[in-house]
Amino acid sequence: MSYELPTLPYDYSALEPYISKGTLEFHHDKHHAAYVNKFNDAVKGTDLDSKPIEEVIKATANEPSKSGVFNNAAQAWNHTFYWNSMKPQGGGTPTGELAKKINADFGSFDQFTDAFKKAGATQFGSGWAWLVLEGNTLKVVKTPNAENPIPASQVPLLTMDVWEHAYYLDYQNKRPDYMNAFLENVVNWDFAAQNLAAA
């Protein structure tokens, strides 16, 4: 059962000027596609081949001998989740239950954004910043390289890719500018709210 590269949920130019067509073309068509292809090659013919990708991620996390499967499975999953964490005319603030829960668990929306940006800024090198539900509490976490919150039994609600390939063409080394644009202009709070409702 091979994992298919999903099409982007919007046009390549739909997030401009915050994330360019060129960035999304490289990021989706080259980087994400390569992870998907390598994952399918690595898992083919193994006992994990028929498992859902989330199960593969859980089964291979913390297994050094299976890092090739894990890294490509997690990166295939993370990027699909990242595309859905953004939308054209995104940004703004969450509403409804998600807004209430952010206020309850972080103190305020501003305290959430401070924590999320700090997670992205302090992830040394490549990785991801996440809003997750752990038990009944929202948390911000960061993960290095391909790692994601699934093996820790945290439910991902939202993610931001902080690998340089996510922002270098548009922002060069200025990761904070990319993070501000992500939160102010493209973040998809509807997606996070759906994930919370389904958790």
Nearer to Mn ion, 106 or 130 (CB): 130
User: Where would I find the H helices in 62-185?
Assistant: 67-84, 96-106, 109-122, 168-171, 175-181
Question: What residues contact residue 2 under an 8 Å CB cut-off, 6+ apart?
Answer: 40, 44
Task: List phi, psi (to 5°) of 132.
Answer: -130, 160
Is residue 189 within 8 A of residue 84, CB to CB? The reply is no
In the bound complex, what is the minimum distance in angstroms from residue 41's beta carbon to Mn ion?
Answer: 19
Q: With respect to Mn ion, which residue has the nearer C-beta, 60 or 159?
A: 159
Q: Does 147 contact Mn ion by CB under 5 A?
A: no
39 binds Mn ion (CB under 5 A): no
Minimum gap (Å) between residue 159 Cβ and Mn ion: 10
Considering the complex, state which of residue 163 and residue 189 has its C-beta at the smaller distance from Mn ion: 163
Residue 161 or 170 with smaller CB distance to Mn ion? 161
136-150 as b/e, with b when 16 or more CB fall inside 10 Å? Answer: eebbbbbbeebbbbb
Where in 152-191 is the site for Mn ion (CB under 5 A)?
161, 163
Smallest separation, CB 21 to Mn ion (Å): 16
Residues that bind Mn ion (CB under 5 A): 161, 163
